[in-house]
Structure 1
Amino acid sequence: MTESRQRQNTVEYFLQDIEHHGRNERTADAYRRVLSDYKAFLEARFGKTPTDASYRDCMAYVHELRTTHSKSTVATYASYLNRFYSYLVRVGHADENPMTVVLEEMNESIESNPTRRDVTLPQMRSFVTEIRHPLHRAIVVTLLKTGMRAGELCNLDLIDCHIDHEATTWQPRAHIAGRPDSLFVSAEHTYGEKSGGERRTASNKRKRETVVPVDEELRTALVRWLAVRPDTNFTGPSMAASEPLFVGTADSWGQRLTPHVVHHVVEKYAREYGWYRTGGGAAENVTPHYFRHFFTTHLRDRTGDRGIVQYLRGDVASDVIDTYTHNWGDRVRNTYLEHIYSLSV
């Protein structure tokens, strides 16, 4: 049978292997139902097969499941897809697992995981020092310094960045116009929906909007990135509202980054550093979400103020957030700048 034919029958081959490895009939039937539904969804919605599916296609399917199934059922079905794609990677029928980023976003939690890889601050400093590419360094430093999600980083627009430097030639949005050296993280962007005239590829899972301080290290990384940032093809009346801060410098030249791209940037360096292994789980691999965990743990321990960390992460509900919003200069910015760790060796 040709390789093309084998790729067309990946679901059938996977189900056969499930049975050969001793899975009971009930489990095999559950996999069959989910994968058959997934296959039909891809064909009807996108005209694709499972081997052609991207991270965005998987997210669309999970989003569809959420409209009719409970949270626990969605998580179970997502785990089935993850195992299926892990199988395709192992047998050479797929180059990567598009469910990796999906599961990472689904499994977020503010609580530290005692089984997670323990990276010390000196080790993280050495890791960051090795990253020379202006875009890649800006991505990693932004994630480590702000604790934002990969999708939130991708959704940042130019007007969400206020740096008092000649590299910034635009007018920042009103929320941060009087707050130089800060980033604005919206709570409005939703996957698949238009925002600022552009259909977004990721959701900002914040309870409320957040103004995040920018320290000298992050400021330097952003300025160096802006100095080489490609021109984009954003035009029209909504340009100022949606032109992305982070855009591609390779295949997707000048286009807004996606969480999938961010994940692969981090994976590239983590793998080279021995912090990422194919098949390794959240307890072992360093990913964009690990940086969020690193930020949470270190800043919470340094400040002793869980509320400020929750505010910066976007986890604080409306009945608490006003304390930090109204006293942003003293309570948040000053505390942050006093305690945020340095990433310089």
Structure 2
Amino acid sequence: MYGKNLSLEYGIRDLPETTLLNDFLLDCSVRNFSPRTIQSYKSNLKYFLSRHSVQINPDDLKNFLIHIRDKKHYSPSTVGNYFAALSSFYDWLEWEGVIEKNIVPQFRKRYLRYYKEQRHEERQLINLEQMRALIDSAEWVGFKSMFIFFAKTGIRRQELIDLDLKDLYLENRYAILKPHAKRSNRVVFFDNECAQVLEAWLSWRQENKIRNKALFLGTHGSRINRDTVYDVTTEHAQSLGFHNPAGRLNEKFTPHCFRHFFTTWLRRSGCPRSIIQELRGDARKEAIDIYDHITQAELKESYIKYIPLLNIKI
């Protein structure tokens, strides 16, 4: 797009930063990054470029880290997201020949190691009785169905938000997720007790003449959004005593904890690792995995065998 000749002829400061950013975001789209990732990169990079030029040195990165960490008081995960966006952006600039070298990865290794360790701190794991209490605490069937679907499938928050009614195959006890860069297997299964709650949810929608195509809705009848999923989850968990908003990661119960619950309790039930990987949609990268083909019938049979029963009140 630019190439080394162009960058040498005009100099990096002569290339409009907005043009560079827009072309980088186009490159992300071509590489099939999720819309949410692209939007996050756009927001983070616009803020960085409002304070710094494209041509940077380690001191610029230090000043920016101090600014967002100590002055803006951003969380470790937000700090990490900013520098992930910067690393990807400057990797693209190097690829295009606009800069000679991307210095962000070395900076992250030296100065953000602490944040990386914090981000990988063990998440809270609740037991079966606590999960049952969490799901039963939802008085509205819309949120109850969301909670149990999370717990029984282990899907990510955005995967749940993107689900439409047409993606649900209730009689056959499975759903098909929208394509996602991080997911290899888009089919997720659920058991009979999850199906019963979903049936109650669909009946409620029909009685109230809800015509929105989204499977899960907020209280105003539109597709549920990320903030609502987070707020509803943490509020219910906090009311039961296992979410501390000011606590460490292992004292909080966020939407991602459903995935942690799903994975851990399948493992504790004796489910084979390869089956758990397929159910989670993880890419299995070991050489032997190439020859280990798991059929959908085998996957569903194993799922039904190992998924914990919660005895939810309908």
1:151 aligns with 2:158: yes
| Counterpart Cα distance in 1 of 2:134 and 2:178 | 29
2:68 alignment partner AA:
Y
1:130 alignment partner AA:
S
In the other structure, the counterpart of 2:214 is 244
In the other structure, the counterpart of 2:305 is 338
Asked if 2 retains the 8 angstrom alpha-carbon contact of 1:155 and 1:244, the reply is yes
Residues 60-115 of structure 1 show CA distances to partners (whole Å, capped at 9, x for unaligned) of 3444547999xxx8xx96x937983779xxxxxxxxxxx69x89xx9xx9xxx774
Q: What's the CA shift for 1:122?
A: 2.2
Give me the CA root mean square deviation.
4.0
Change (3 A) 1:233 1:214: closer
In the other structure, the counterpart of 1:315 is 282
Residues 224-264 of structure 1 show CA distances to partners (whole Å, capped at 9, x for unaligned) of 11112255566xxxxxxxx2111222xxx221111211111
| Counterpart Cα distance in 2 of 1:81 and 1:62 | 18
- The number of aligned residues is 224
**1:219 aligned residue (195, 209, 228):** 195
Change (3 A) 1:85 1:139: farther
Change (3 A) 1:118 1:206: closer
1:60 aligns with 2:60: no
| Counterpart Cα distance in 1 of 2:291 and 2:183 | 12
| Counterpart Cα distance in 2 of 1:160 and 1:117 | 30
In the other structure, the counterpart of 1:206 is 182
In the other structure, the counterpart of 2:113 is none
Moved more, 270-279 or 215-224: 270-279
1:80 aligns with 2:72: no
| Counterpart Cα distance in 2 of 1:151 and 1:268 | 19
**Length-normalised TM-score, structure 2:** 0.60
Secondary structure of 1:283's counterpart equals helix
Unaligned regions of 5+ residues in structure 1, if any? 1-40, 42-55, 88-98, 165-179, 188-203, 235-242
Asked if 2 retains the 8 angstrom alpha-carbon contact of 1:143 and 1:291, the reply is yes
Change (3 A) 1:183 1:233: closer
Residues 262-320 of structure 1 show CA distances to partners (whole Å, capped at 9, x for unaligned) of 11110110110112222223221011101111111111232341111111211125885
Secondary structure of 2:123's counterpart equals coil
| Counterpart Cα distance in 2 of 1:225 and 1:271 | 24
Moved more, 57-66 or 305-314: 57-66
Secondary structure of 2:72's counterpart equals helix
Name which one, 1 or 2, has greater alpha-carbon Rg: 2
In the other structure, the counterpart of 1:328 is 296
**Length-normalised TM-score, structure 1:** 0.55
| Counterpart Cα distance in 1 of 2:126 and 2:183 | 29
1:301 aligns with 2:289: no
| Counterpart Cα distance in 2 of 1:321 and 1:152 | 26
Asked if 1 retains the 8 angstrom alpha-carbon contact of 2:277 and 2:284, the reply is no
2:230 alignment partner AA:
H
Change (3 A) 1:57 1:305: closer
More helix by share: 2
| Counterpart Cα distance in 2 of 1:332 and 1:153 | 20
